[in-house]
A and B are shown apart, each in its own frame.
Chain A
Amino acid sequence: MITSNAMCRGEPGKRELPRSILLSLSLTLSLIAPFASAQIESFSAVSDEMLNSPASGEWLSWRGTPAAWGYSPLDQINTENVGQLQLKWSFALDDTGAIQAAPLIHDGIMFIPSARGVIQALDAVTGDLLWEYRPAPPTEEFINSGAGTRAAVLPAGAFAGVGRGVQKNIALYGEMIYASTETASIRAIDARSGLLVWETQVADPTLGYFYTAGPIIANGTLVTGITGCDRYKDDVCFITGHDPATGEEKWRTSTVARPEDPGGDTWGDLPLRFRAGSDAWVAGSYDPQANLIYWGTAQAKPWARAVRGTDGDALYTNSTLALNPDNGEMAWYFQHIPGETQDMDEVFENILVDIDGRKSLFKMGKLGILWQLDRETGQFIKGTDIGYQNIVNLDPITGQITYRDGMIPRIGEELNMCPSTSGVKSWRAMAYSPDTSAMYIPITLNCELATFGPTERQLGGGGAGPVRRVNYHHPQSDGNLGEILALDIPSGEVKWRYRSRAPFNTAALTTAGGLVFAGDWNRTMSALDANNGELLWQVRLATSNQGFPISYSVNGKQYIAMPVGTGGASWSGSLPRELAPELSRPRNGSSINVFALPD
């Protein structure tokens, strides 16, 4: 671990950290060209209590609260007046990488993560820029340094641009903004000034490690999940806990069972270096009463069993992990798809809802199965297959998955599968509304003729594995690629579906005004009636809606904020291009767009 002090700049009352023993390296990571135009005076430190029970107008966690409902208790904007929404302000974001932003709101300030590590603080009422943190890109010297032991295996600089600069979410705690980077470090930035306070190198980016998920705060610990774990190396993927004051690593929990560990035999005879995947690329949730964080893991790599060389379950891939944030100990795990073999990821958001007094966790992966688990024990409660996949059968009593005949791919043999590797669902988080007791789920409809191919089993090799693919429309889609599906909880019954030609490309946002907000790839942002799916309002924005919409209030006025941008997973562009070629979008135009009722 490399810890740099970066640029504390002697701010009064701030802790001055010791200079790194690897100063030259740290400088390459931490040189900043700050556009610190203002010192925010009206900023109150964010406490654990505030995070766990935020005021109604605040949006302090990436999905609003640690329970990740994606729900705003504000109701000023409602089904009766949403048609009057007006654009109040818009602010351009960098087009240098993918935008999948989840803004935060505190004390009337919007903190927004942008591409390539940029973070901006904006006046949430006017859109005025208060400060901007803008890291310098890694220097050629850093790239060529190797910065680790495997530089000879993966060429120096292999990380360059990997992940396309995605920075989904950031965390607020105390007087800091916390971010994780595409160069596998985490940063603390002074929320008042936008200046870097510390930066800690968590993993070696030349091994392929990077972050796309941001951190969360749980019981005073900063928790992050790494990604970029698809290449073969003498290490595996992990989740870490850090001291928010210094960045010091408190614990590290592997998301892959090592050969000598319990569950290690679930990878067959594969040595550690060939146990890839289980990336933790979506931020977790937190239950302060149970003092457990819930974090998803991705599928094993290479994707197909036949390619990775084991039919085993491959723990702890494609699982939900319950970890103690104080020490990283695993309280329980639930593996959704043991031995997953088609890139059907289950890494996504964990929504914590109590159902009839039972503390539950809801999750949906690419297969479109809504899981309900007991979040205290990890016990399976219910699974609802929404009926768009043809790959597995789900035992409704035990929650066990079995593959349908012929649906385990063999190398070089074409498989007709629904969904495609885009998934029925992906990072576009669903939202829960306690007012309707329903989940609102952004769905992508399509299927794929897939032929999985081999990859080199050698250090530096591996990866997802090649796939010849031909995407086609889902037979139940009527030519539509997008859907918002409302499912009653806990019955799993369909309340309504709202479909669109273009894929939905944002998380869903629910509000106490009886509304569901989401946006699609074709620039259209929509407000739907949460009860019946009726379309109540639409607007076209600069480019694809992309990211995590939020709602907040300042001085008694409610706002809705929608990020738009391009980049991200390759299929987000290729699916519309192949299956809805009449649609197009600008290749730039990244921005945050804020709406409210007329004054």
Chain B
Amino acid sequence: MGNCMARLKLVAALSAAVCALGVSYAQGGTVWDGVYSSEQAERGEAVYKGACIACHGQDLGGNSNSPGLVGMGFMFLWEGRTLGAFFEKIREEMPTDRPGQLPAQDYVDVVAYIMQANSFPVGDNELPYDAEILDGIAIAPKS
């Protein structure tokens, strides 16, 4: 737990630094603005394979009991909402056998992986564990 808290503080500090630098996606951005890094998505893929794949499948397509996390189905469920809402959903309810039990950074990393799987563009910065920033990123169709 101590390690987890340390990571949270570090992430929070980094987030603050990112905000201070005025990264544009923090305000009024969308998932098309390059809101995660490839390294983060790679970490998220490892998390996904460990904690999510059993229900949502290797191709993130889901099954009768678990919604798909890519493509038309994902956009139907999440278009018009924010990455913050998506993050909160999985942080509070996933994995279903131990909801909320993954390290906080894992949740935000797996969001990055799902963004990558949906072909939303990669950027230079990591998606931060910061509710305000995540709430400022809309899940939107490509304009």
Tell me the nearest residue of chain B to A578, going by C-beta: B93
Q: Mark A439-472, 1 if CB is under 8 A from B, else 0.
A: 0000000000000011110001101111110000
Q: Mark B48-68, 1 if CB is under 8 A from A, else 0.
A: 000001110111011111111
- Is A118's CB within 8 Å of the partner chain B? no
| Chain A residues with CB under 8 A of B66 | 570
| Chain A residues with CB under 8 A of B73 | 453-455, 463, 465-466
| Chain B residues with CB under 8 A of A121 | none
In the complex, the answer to whether B55 meets A577 with C-beta atoms within 8 Å is: no
Cα-based distance from A157 to B53 in the complex (angstroms): 10
- Is A162's CB within 8 Å of the partner chain B? yes
Cα-based distance from A155 to B48 in the complex (angstroms): 15
In the complex, the answer to whether A567 meets B97 with C-beta atoms within 8 Å is: yes
Tell me the nearest residue of chain A to B97, going by C-beta: A587
- Is B142's CB within 8 Å of the partner chain A? no
Can you name 20 extra interface pairs (CB under 8 A) apart from A228-B63, A571-B65, A587-B98? A160-B54, A163-B63, A231-B61, A453-B73, A453-B76, A454-B76, A455-B72, A455-B73, A456-B72, A460-B61, A461-B61, A463-B64, A463-B68, A463-B73, A468-B76, A567-B97, A570-B65, A570-B66, A570-B96, A574-B93
A-B contact pairs, 7 of them (CB 8 A): A157-B58, A208-B63, A412-B76, A453-B72, A454-B76, A569-B65, A570-B66
A386 to chain B, nearest CB (A): 24
In the complex, the answer to whether B64 meets A230 with C-beta atoms within 8 Å is: yes
Q: Tell me which of A231, A343, A468 contacts B77 (CB under 8 A).
A: A468
- Is B141's CB within 8 Å of the partner chain A? no
Cα-based distance from A230 to B64 in the complex (angstroms): 7
B89 to chain A, nearest CB (A): 11
Specify which of B57, B62, B74 lies most central, judged by the most chain A CB atoms within 10 Å of its CB.
B57
| Chain B residues with CB under 8 A of A157 | 58
- Is B103's CB within 8 Å of the partner chain A? no
A340 to chain B, nearest CB (A): 13
Q: Tell me which of A463, A468, A573 contacts B62 (CB under 8 A).
A: A463
| Chain A residues with CB under 8 A of B53 | 160-161
- Is B71's CB within 8 Å of the partner chain A? yes
Cα-based distance from A230 to B76 in the complex (angstroms): 19
Tell me the nearest residue of chain A to B54, going by C-beta: A161
Q: Majority SS of interface residues in chain A?
A: loop
In chain B, positions 71-112 with a C-beta closer than 8 Å to chain A are: 71-74, 76-77, 93, 96-99
A568 to chain B, nearest CB (A): 8
In chain B, positions 5-61 with a C-beta closer than 8 Å to chain A are: 53-55, 57-59, 61
Q: Tell me which of A154, A454, A455 contacts B59 (CB under 8 A).
A: A154
Q: Tell me which of A163, A461, A464, A573 contacts B96 (CB under 8 A).
A: A573
Interface size on A, residues (CB 8 A): 39
Q: Tell me which of A162, A456, A570 contacts B57 (CB under 8 A).
A: A162
Tell me the nearest residue of chain B to A464, going by C-beta: B64
Tell me the nearest residue of chain A to B92, going by C-beta: A577
- Is A164's CB within 8 Å of the partner chain B? yes
| Chain B residues with CB under 8 A of A97 | 54
Specify which of B68, B71, B72, B76 lies most central, judged by the most chain A CB atoms within 10 Å of its CB.
B76
| Chain B residues with CB under 8 A of A573 | 96-97
| Chain B residues with CB under 8 A of A224 | none
In chain A, positions 274-314 with a C-beta closer than 8 Å to chain B are: 301
| Chain A residues with CB under 8 A of B77 | 453, 466, 468
In the complex, the answer to whether A454 meets B98 with C-beta atoms within 8 Å is: no
In the complex, the answer to whether B54 meets A464 with C-beta atoms within 8 Å is: no
Q: Tell me which of A155, A164, A569, A577 contacts B58 (CB under 8 A).
A: A155
Cα-based distance from A28 to B139 in the complex (angstroms): 42
Cα-based distance from A412 to B57 in the complex (angstroms): 25
- Is A394's CB within 8 Å of the partner chain B? no
- Is A566's CB within 8 Å of the partner chain B? yes
In the complex, the answer to whether B63 meets A162 with C-beta atoms within 8 Å is: yes
| Chain B residues with CB under 8 A of A412 | 76
Tell me the nearest residue of chain B to A301, going by C-beta: B64
- Is A580's CB within 8 Å of the partner chain B? no
In chain A, positions 506-555 with a C-beta closer than 8 Å to chain B are: none
In the complex, the answer to whether B59 meets A464 with C-beta atoms within 8 Å is: no
| Chain B residues with CB under 8 A of A343 | 64
- Is A17's CB within 8 Å of the partner chain B? no
In the complex, the answer to whether A464 meets B63 with C-beta atoms within 8 Å is: yes
| Chain B residues with CB under 8 A of A567 | 97
Tell me the nearest residue of chain A to B64, going by C-beta: A464
| Chain B residues with CB under 8 A of A570 | 55, 65-66, 96
A80 to chain B, nearest CB (A): 40
| Chain B residues with CB under 8 A of A8 | none
| Chain B residues with CB under 8 A of A453 | 72-73, 76-77
Cα-based distance from A532 to B61 in the complex (angstroms): 47
In the complex, the answer to whether B63 meets A160 with C-beta atoms within 8 Å is: no
| Chain A residues with CB under 8 A of B74 | 466
Specify which of A97, A161, A454 lies most central, judged by the most chain B CB atoms within 10 Å of its CB.
A161
A256 to chain B, nearest CB (A): 16
Specify which of B63, B65, B76, B98 lies most central, judged by the most chain A CB atoms within 10 Å of its CB.
B63
Cα-based distance from A280 to B53 in the complex (angstroms): 23
In the complex, the answer to whether B93 meets A164 with C-beta atoms within 8 Å is: no
B93 to chain A, nearest CB (A): 7
In the complex, the answer to whether A158 meets B59 with C-beta atoms within 8 Å is: yes
Cα-based distance from A533 to B61 in the complex (angstroms): 44
Cα-based distance from A97 to B62 in the complex (angstroms): 17
B34 to chain A, nearest CB (A): 25
Specify which of A460, A465, A573 lies most central, judged by the most chain B CB atoms within 10 Å of its CB.
A465
B49 to chain A, nearest CB (A): 9
| Chain A residues with CB under 8 A of B93 | 574, 577
In the complex, the answer to whether A155 meets B59 with C-beta atoms within 8 Å is: yes
A505 to chain B, nearest CB (A): 15
In the complex, the answer to whether A574 meets B96 with C-beta atoms within 8 Å is: yes
Known A567-B97, A570-B96, A574-B96; contact A466-B68, beta-carbon cutoff 8 A = yes
